Structure 1
Amino acid sequence: MTLPVALSGTDVIGQAKTGTGKTLGFGLPLLERVTVPADVEAGRATPEQLTDAPQALVVVPTRELCTQVTNDLLTAGKVRNVRVLAIYGGRAYEPQVEALKKGVDIIVGTPGRLLDLAGQKKLDLSHIRSLVLDEADEMLDLGFLPDVERIMNYLPPKRQTMLFSATMPGAVIGLARRYMTQPTHIRAVSEDGEGATVANTTQHVFRAHNMDKPELVSRILQAEGRGLAMIFCRTKRTAADIAEQLEKRGFASGAVHGDLGQGAREQALRAFRNGKVDVLVCTDVAARGIDVEGVTHVINYQTPEDEKTFLHRVGRTGRAGKKGIAVTLVDWDDIPRWQLINKALQLEFHDPVETYSTSPHLYELMNIPAGTKGILPRAERTRAGLDAENVEDLGETGGRGGRGGRDGGRDSRDGGRDGGRDGGRGSRDGGRDRDGGRDG
């Protein structure tokens, strides 16, 4: 639905469920509309129209999403030889500046690092013909709106602007009114009607006791036919703790949260994609747009903040037409919060069933073999594990002890105030990571 409108150069507001292919909805028109040497050879453009300055800009809220969108665009742009560069905080400036000097066609970046490089005149945004704001609602949640507006001031007034978002709060619509000209609003609704989650994801909601959750999760992870699994926690401390507990129980697990350096976050995601690790424990930083093939189970270890977060977490499975299973564990004191989410999404789990790791209905619903205990038998420990995946040296900025760049943490939802105490006052960069509040 997006392609014909976007290819004609019209402004677009795209709205669709998570997991329905928004990246290529804006990616293909960008790749098609940049001028590259192949166009000159084919006679579609003159040599004067070629430039080494970026011609398209995609702004994303998190670093994980930044690398993923970049890889998707590189894959799709291979034939036309389109140069795509990821620009985000938490890693060294020099390689990014070098790549910009060599010439780039499309830039995918997080707001803080983009502003840093544009402010230092290392990034020339005066040739941008197309701007995409991906996951615009999330940028608002993270307080990125002023940064996004400042980036827009660097861009030529005459350009195509595309805005993609799963939900459309008022502020996003306000942004669209200010910066877009007669945009076409495309809202994709699937055949399964207006359901907020994808229909081929089976939902299970259990009332579980906090002390029993690690045991319960360990048994669910031994369900028959389980592929990769993602476990979502609200706080960084819980995520780190659960990843460690699961490892002790014999599972190949990794973690992604704001207290980890960028290298460690990327190592865990890579190991998960490559299948060296089959359980990824994360905070909501990984709930937006992360697309890994073969995720069969999503477990909400802690009830999410709100229904939007719930949709994004659950949307990591059941993608692109595959089936998925989503399990939500609701603590006693989280029942009121869960009931609000349940009502907002019109689900039928108002009073979740009280469930323990030994409950017969758990084994039956989740397809867990009888007699399964909370420790993975040695014979089944076949994955290489997190240590088999190398950690890249990214020349990390900010965070521990460094005074680095502006954007290390603002673009990851879950870091807590970790810029303050351990990043040194000079880095505005550990900061506004959202779920640290409690434990940061």
Structure 2
Amino acid sequence: MTLPVALTGTDVIGQAKTGTGKTLGFGIPLLERVTVPADVEAGRAAPEALTDAPQALVVVPTRELCIQVANDLLTAGKVRNVRVVSIYGGRAYEPQVEALKKGVDVVVGTPGRLLDLAGQGKLVLKHVKCLVLDEADEMLDLGFLPDVEKIIDMLPAKRQTMLFSATMPGAVIGLARRYMSHPTHIRATAPDDEGATVANIRQFVYRAHSLDKPEMVARILQAEGRGLAMIFCRTKRTAADIAEQLQRRGFAAGAVHGDLGQGAREQALRAFRNGKVDVLVCTDVAARGIDVEGVTHVINYQSPEDEKTYLHRIGRTGRAGASGTAITFVDWDDVPRWQLINKALGLDFHEPVETYSTSPHLFSDLGIPEGTKGVLPRSERTRAGLDAEELEALGETGQAADDHLMSSQREAIERVLQEID
């Protein structure tokens, strides 16, 4: 639905459920708008239209999504040799600056690093013909908005602007119109599929006790037919703790959260995609846009903040027509929060059923074999595990600065101690 509109150069607001292929909805028009040497050779464009500065810019909220979108665009643009570069924080600057110097057609990036390089004059934005905000509602949220506005101010006024997301509150659309000219709002849903959630995801909501949750998760992960699983936690500390507990129980688990270095985050996601680990414990940094084939189960270890977060989290399964299972644990004190989400999405889990790791309905609902305990039998520990995936040395930013800070702090403390002596 978006292709014919976007290919004419019209501004687009695109909204469709998770897992329906939004990346190529903006990716194909964007790749078509870019002028490459093949166009000049075929006589479709004048030689002076060629430039080594980016002609299209995609802004995304997370580093993980940045890598994924860049890879998708590289694959789609392979035949025309479109040069795509991903620019995001947590990595060394030099390779990114080097890639920009060599020449690039499409830049995919996170706001902080984009602003940084544009401010230093390393990233030239005056030739950009097309701007995309992926996960637009997140990009126009208070956290990102000032940075996004600064980036938009650096772009030519005459350009195509496209916004894409699964969730698009009215306030966001109102805000977006400030940066767009006569946008076409395209909302794609199947005629028989009215609900906000994807129809082929089975949803279960249980009121669970926090001390019993690790045991429940370990049993759910032994359900029949389980492929890859993602577990979402509200805090970085919980995510790290659950990943560690599951490893001790024999599961091949990895973690993705903001306290990990970028190398470790990418290692865990790569291991998950390659099947070396089959359980990924993460915070909401992995809730948007991440597309991994074969994810059959999503577990919300803690109730999500709001209905948008719930939709994006459970949308990691049931993608591209596949089916999936979403399980949400609601603590006693989170019941009012859950009831608001339930009402907003029109679900029928107003009173989550009280559930323990021994509850018969847990086993029957999710197809867990009778007698399953919270430790994975040794005979089933067949995955290579996180350590089998190589940890890249990314020249991570912050580490040298931290070391320098620590040494200067040590010197200051030593001076104070000498004075006291």
How far, CA to CA, are the matches of 1:175 and 1:87 in structure 2? 26
Report the counterpart of residue 224 of structure 2 in structure 1. 224
Q: Which amino acid aligns with 1:86?
A: S
On the 8 A contact 1:261/1:399 being kept in 2, the answer is no
Q: Which amino acid aligns with 1:128?
A: V
Report the counterpart of residue 270 of structure 1 in structure 2. 270
Q: Displacement, 1:346?
A: 0.9
Q: Secondary structure at the match of 1:299?
A: strand
Q: Residue by residue, what CA displacement relative to the aligned partner does 1:87-125 show, whole Å, maximum 9, x if unpaired?
A: 011101000000000000000001111111111000110
Report the counterpart of residue 372 of structure 1 in structure 2. 372
Is 1:310 the counterpart of 2:310 in the alignment?
yes
Q: Secondary structure at the match of 1:211?
A: coil
How far, CA to CA, are the matches of 1:192 and 1:252 in structure 2? 39
Report the counterpart of residue 287 of structure 1 in structure 2. 287
Q: Which amino acid aligns with 2:221?
A: L
How far, CA to CA, are the matches of 1:102 and 1:171 in structure 2? 40
How far, CA to CA, are the matches of 1:59 and 1:92 in structure 2? 19
Q: Displacement, 1:190?
A: 2.0
Moved more, 55-64 or 168-177: 168-177
Report the counterpart of residue 382 of structure 2 in structure 1. 382
Q: Displacement, 1:349?
A: 0.8
How far, CA to CA, are the matches of 2:215 and 2:42 in structure 1? 62
How far, CA to CA, are the matches of 2:141 and 2:6 in structure 1? 26
Q: Secondary structure at the match of 1:210?
A: coil
How far, CA to CA, are the matches of 1:86 and 1:118 in structure 2? 14
Q: Residue by residue, what CA displacement relative to the aligned partner does 1:298-344 show, whole Å, maximum 9, x if unpaired?
A: 00000011111010000000001000000001111111111111111
How far, CA to CA, are the matches of 1:402 and 1:54 in structure 2? 33
How far, CA to CA, are the matches of 2:142 and 2:257 in structure 1? 16
Q: Secondary structure at the match of 2:260?
A: coil
Report the counterpart of residue 335 of structure 1 in structure 2. 335
Is 1:144 the counterpart of 2:144 in the alignment?
yes
Report the counterpart of residue 53 of structure 2 in structure 1. 53
How far, CA to CA, are the matches of 2:155 and 2:332 in structure 1? 50
On the 8 A contact 2:254/2:279 being kept in 1, the answer is yes
Q: Secondary structure at the match of 1:204?
A: strand
Q: Displacement, 1:192?
A: 3.6
Report the counterpart of residue 255 of structure 2 in structure 1. 255
Q: Displacement, 1:172?
A: 2.3
How far, CA to CA, are the matches of 2:142 and 2:277 in structure 1? 29
How far, CA to CA, are the matches of 2:191 and 2:304 in structure 1? 27
Report the counterpart of residue 132 of structure 1 in structure 2. 132
How far, CA to CA, are the matches of 2:109 and 2:403 in structure 1? 21
Q: Which amino acid aligns with 2:349?
A: F
How far, CA to CA, are the matches of 1:399 and 1:319 in structure 2? 37
Report the counterpart of residue 162 of structure 1 in structure 2. 162
Q: Displacement, 1:142?
A: 5.4
Q: Secondary structure at the match of 2:212?
A: helix
How far, CA to CA, are the matches of 1:401 and 1:190 in structure 2? 51
Q: Displacement, 1:401?
A: 4.5
Q: Displacement, 1:176?
A: 2.3
Query: Map of 1:165-180 to 2, 5 A cutoff?
Result: 165-180=165-180
Q: Which amino acid aligns with 1:7?
A: L
How far, CA to CA, are the matches of 1:403 and 1:141 in structure 2? 33
| Aligned-residue CA RMSD (Å) | 1.7
How far, CA to CA, are the matches of 1:387 and 1:35 in structure 2? 43
Q: Which amino acid aligns with 1:232?
A: F
How far, CA to CA, are the matches of 1:290 and 1:310 in structure 2? 14
On the 8 A contact 2:201/2:318 being kept in 1, the answer is yes
Q: Displacement, 1:355?
A: 1.0
On the 8 A contact 2:140/2:148 being kept in 1, the answer is no
How far, CA to CA, are the matches of 2:136 and 2:308 in structure 1? 13
Report the counterpart of residue 411 of structure 1 in structure 2. none
- TM-score between the two structures when normalised by the length of structure 2: 0.94
Query: Map of 1:11-50 to 2, 5 A cutoff?
Result: 11-50=11-50
The percent of aligned pairs where both chains have the same amino acid is 83
Q: Which amino acid aligns with 1:364?
A: S
How far, CA to CA, are the matches of 2:141 and 2:311 in structure 1? 15
Report the counterpart of residue 355 of structure 2 in structure 1. 355
Q: Secondary structure at the match of 2:14?
A: strand
Report the counterpart of residue 240 of structure 2 in structure 1. 240
Q: Secondary structure at the match of 1:293?
A: coil
Report the counterpart of residue 210 of structure 1 in structure 2. 210
Report the counterpart of residue 410 of structure 1 in structure 2. none
How far, CA to CA, are the matches of 1:213 and 1:399 in structure 2? 35
Q: Residue by residue, what CA displacement relative to the aligned partner does 1:167-186 show, whole Å, maximum 9, x if unpaired?
A: 22344223322111111111
Report the counterpart of residue 118 of structure 1 in structure 2. 118
- In structure 1, stretches of 5+ residues that fail to align are 405-420, 426-440
Q: Displacement, 1:164?
A: 1.2
Q: Secondary structure at the match of 2:140?
A: helix
On the 8 A contact 2:252/2:278 being kept in 1, the answer is yes
Report the counterpart of residue 106 of structure 1 in structure 2. 106
Q: Which amino acid aligns with 1:163?
A: L
Q: Displacement, 1:18?
A: 1.6
On the 8 A contact 1:192/1:199 being kept in 2, the answer is no
Is 1:67 the counterpart of 2:67 in the alignment?
yes
Q: Displacement, 1:45?
A: 1.4
Q: Which amino acid aligns with 1:337?
A: R
Report the counterpart of residue 197 of structure 1 in structure 2. 197
Moved more, 175-184 or 47-56: 175-184
Look at both structures and tell me which one has the larger radius of gyration over its CA atoms. Answer: 2
On the 8 A contact 1:397/1:403 being kept in 2, the answer is no
Q: Which amino acid aligns with 1:249?
A: R
Is 1:188 the counterpart of 2:184 in the alignment?
no
